[in-house]
Amino acid sequence: MAHHTEYQTASTHETSHGSLKSYSIGFLFSILLTIVPVVIVWNDWFEGTASNIVLMAAAVLQFVVQLVYFMHLREEGKPRYNLMALILGLIIVLTIVIGSIWIMTYNMVAT
């Protein structure tokens, strides 16, 4: 029975998650990074490329906030296998997206 108790405290210590403060900060950043691009697009504050840059920057920042505050990527004590898997996944997704855009751009048939 003592062995079971030691195992429980060890496993609960390893799986500790962020604090309420950390989650609140992440939530506020997420809300802000969602509202700002929507307001910019609705009010036509920027046009063309500037609008696209603001939207893409907000999307990248939103991705970083999700990784840091909700997926706890920075709090790993072990080797960063999750980070390596994330990087591989990003490479695969970017290859598919960029390849699809390239194919659609250069293989369009004029109608």
User: If you search the block for the tokens 């195992």, which residue do you land on?
Assistant: 7
Cα 34 from Cα 62, distance rounded (Å): 8
Is-above-0.85 flag for pTM? no
Domain regions of the chain by residue span? 2-75, 79-111
Q: What is the mean pLDDT of each run of 10 residues along the chain (111 residues)?
A: 49 62 92 94 89 88 86 69 81 90 80 55
**The predicted structure's pLDDT at residue 24:** 92
**The predicted structure's pLDDT at residue 73:** 73
Cα 99 from Cα 101, distance rounded (Å): 5
Cα 97 from Cα 95, distance rounded (Å): 6
Residues 6+ positions from 46 with CB-CB distance below 8 Å? 40, 54
Cα 6 from Cα 50, distance rounded (Å): 57
